[in-house]
Structures are given as structure tokens and as C-alpha cells.
Chain A
């Protein structure tokens, strides 16, 4: 896949070993200027190791990294001013207010007091935190903490922003608001490198996605290209009550729709799932069920999702990934 845009980040043959564990196995990818790039994989796949290496918090064993043209392996701290990092846990100072935290982070990048004040106020406004600007960071809710951490990550207008699991462990409303803010940042031209285990989040936000499994990047592509194989896969779910227990078996046996390529399954009690390589006719199905005493009360077309692509490519059930991460997040809480 080529792009007319210039690469903001170029990673080539990156490897890292921790003792016996080969955490990264010669991974390659590029992130283009202004792009929102998703980095998807289960826990332990190598996402955080990759981010740590790219941001200068760890050293690779081999490979090259160029950020904005700077060779980050030869000059590990040479590109620090070009990048912003938002870790998976808020790492600001609980003792300082929101405004003071932003001002302090700006000072780390050498901004003058006047610039710091202006930028901090601007970001507090952008992230809808103006009212809480004078409150101590320690008293913020998880969603507010995450928003301020993102604000701190972009305080110096970085060329590329690394977002590590930005919506993990926060409530649904805050997560939604954060996704909107991320989209807004992206529309404003910020290059974003996003790691997440929420596949639907990556699907909604990202332009291109890399799947990483056990330290290897198994696929990098545009979301629409990744989705192509599942675009012609149609799934229909019917919810019903009553009728015989083995409805899907009867459907299969009697081939009631006359369509050889339909497959039937019952993922849950009272749910019939039909899959086919073309649109599925609902009428014959409903008639078949009602003729056998079942009452159909809902027919729902299941939209093909990136999750199916992820499962196909990696062989990992996405649901498992969510559960594991949420458990970890609930246990660890926020910083």
C-alpha cells in the first residue's frame, strides 16, 4: 500500500528480546503524516513494548526508527520534541491542579511562561475542563484524568501523538467523548498512533490498522481494504419464542430456502443465525419458523465488522481480549 503522504514514522525490522521472550520480531510499518493509525493486538502482543521503543523509553535490539526524519536509534532522545505520549494510565501529578500539570508539562518542552499559560488555558477549554482547571488532578474522575493526560500529551504541538489504550477503564459516556476528541484532533491534522484492544474503536477512528500478534505484525492495511473479504458475507439473526428445539437442524435438513449456500446456527437459545455470501431473504425464513409454531419477533442484519477480520487473521477471539484487559484495568485502577 502506498500513500502520497510523507511518512511521519518509519519502523523497519524492529526487534526486542526480554530474556527468553522475543517481544518483537522484526516488525515493519509506516505511519503517514496526518494519519490516524491503529495498532491492534491482544495483551502481551508487543503493543506497549513497541510504543516504549518508539517513544524512547526502551531501546531496540535491532532495526531502525525514523520520526520526522530523525534516526531515533542513533539519537534516542533526538526526536523527543516531535512526539507526544499518552500512556494507558494517567501519569500526571495528583498534588498539582489541572492547569499546573499542563503548565509543568509545557515547561518540560522549554515553553515560556506566557506560552505555557496560553496553551494550558486553550487546552483546558478544548477538553471542556476549564471549570476544573484549578482543582487538584488527584480529585478528578477517571474520564477527566484521561482527558487531561491527552491534553498534556499535545501541550507542545507534537508531530505525532502516541495514544496507548485511551478509553480503557473509563465509563461509556467519557469514552464516547474521548473518541470524539481524538477524531477532532485528527481532523486538526495531528498524526495519531493509537493502540487499543477495542476493535470497534479502531474501526471507527482509524484510517489504517496494523494487527500485532506475539511480537509480529501480521497485517497492515487500510480499514476498508481489511473489510473487503467480509463485505460479501451476510449475517441475519432472528429472535423467536416457542417452536421445536432443533429448528436450525430442521432448516439445514429441509433446505427450506432452497439456497445451498446458507448456513444455520443457534448462538443462543431463541436466536437463529443465518449466514450467506449474498443478501438473505427474510420472508421464507419467518414463514418456515411460524409454520413450526415459533413466534418471530425480531429480524436483525448483522453488519460485517473488523472483529471478524481480526479473528480471521489472528485466530484470537476478540471477546477474550476485552475481558482480560477490563479485568486488568478494574484491578489496577487509575494512577
Chain B
């Protein structure tokens, strides 16, 4: 119960001080819209291009939204020493870090639904397998957030976190099968694709919107879950090693 009170208040505080600030709200809306518009223009087609555009826009929105925010909520707070106050709280580190990242996870999920809602309002959505789409979006948000956490813990300045994030984000967009199917990639790049969490998320999104799964759904979910757990535990290990050394 006591941990729950702390968890909830960390989440609320982060929501108020970071995620619900006008610049971040507008980023959360404008960024996915800009991506959607860009892909529509690029596709040169009309409504029929929506199912092919949506997985990419959803995944990219989550990836950029979560990793960018973690650089602020964790790296900035560590530099400012406000993070020390959290570390002093009588909470298991896992609970504390999950509370600290839960705002970003929600932000990522909200980001994902901006293009979906816009698509539904203005174009009408194609049939969506919601039972796959919603958990997929949630797992992608978790994996991206924990990737952001891993990066945020590895650096000490916000600008370093942003730069380091790009090192992961851009290759991931092009290698995960969102825009170019993994099967069309050169052979030597494919193992790299399968080492990226977003590959499995992209496959789930494609499947839920277009019914085209490259891998079995359960395998996608399982591997994405393993990536989430692995990235989270690795980040916790790094926090212990670097910040509580």
C-alpha cells in the first residue's frame, strides 16, 4: 500500500511537471500528425494507404515520444539532484524506476493513438485487430521507454541522451521492417533487425492493421516481452552500478 502511494504520486508529479506541459502536449500531437502527413504525401495514394502508413507512424511516434522524455525526466533530474530524493525513498529500486518510467509509457501510448484517432475521424479506420493492436502498442511503449531509460542512465547530460538516442532510433526505424520489410533487407542486415525490439512490435502492428504477420503473434509478444524485461533489468543494474556505487 505504501509503495503504491509513492508510485502513484511519482507518476502524478511527473505528469504535472513534464508530460502535461503545453510544449510536450503539443509535441505529442504535432509530431505524430507531421509523420502521418509526411507518409501520406510520400505514398501518393488516398485512404487505401492508411493501413500501410499507420504502423510506421504509430511506432515512430512512440519511439521518439518516450525516448525523448526519459532524457528529461531521468537525466535532467539526476543532474539536478532531485533524483537523489527519489533514491532516498524507502522503495525497492524496481518500483521506483517503474514509477519514474510509467509517465513516459502512458505518454508513448497516448502518442500512438493520435494518428489512430485522427485516421478514424477524418478517413475512417480499416478493420483493426484491437486485441493485438492495443497490447502491441503498450509493449512497444514499454520497450521504447526502457530503451530510453537505459540511455538516460548511461549518460550525464540531456544533450548526450538525445544524441545517444538517435544512435539507436534512426537505424531502428529503417531496420525494424516498418517501411522496408525485413525479408527485403540485405542478408547481412537481417540478424541486426531481429536484435531490435521494434522489429517484433512492427510485425504486430502490421498484423493488427493489415493482417500480415511475418512471425507468429505469440512469438512477437514473447520476444517483445523479453526485450522489455531485459532492458528494464539492465537499466536497474546500471543504476546500481553507476549511481549507487
Contacts and interface: CB of A to CB of B under 8 A. Distances in A.
Given A57-B88, A77-B93, A110 B1 contact: yes
Contacts of B5: 107, 110-112
Interface residues of A, number: 28
Interface string B1-30: 111011011100100110000000000000
A93 interface: yes
Contacts of A81: 90
B44 interface: no
A96 B17 contact: yes
A110 B6 CA distance: 6
B189 interface: no
Interface stretch (B76-84, B114-122, B169-177, B205-213): B76-84
A77 B244 CA distance: 11
A285 B77 CA distance: 63
Contacts, number: 73
Interface string A94-113: 01100000001101111110
Nearest to B84: A91
A25 to B, nearest CB: 18
Nearest to A113: B5
List 4 tightest A-B contacts by C-beta distance, closest first: A110-B2, A107-B9, A80-B90, A108-B89
B103 to A, nearest CB: 14
Given A77-B92, A108-B6, A112-B5, A59 B82 contact: no
Interface string B64-90: 000000000000000011101111111
B89 A80 contact: yes
B91 interface: yes
B245 interface: yes
19 contacts: A56-B88, A57-B87, A57-B88, A58-B245, A59-B244, A59-B245, A89-B81, A91-B80, A92-B85, A93-B17, A96-B17, A107-B6, A108-B10, A108-B85, A108-B89, A109-B6, A110-B3, A110-B90, A335-B80
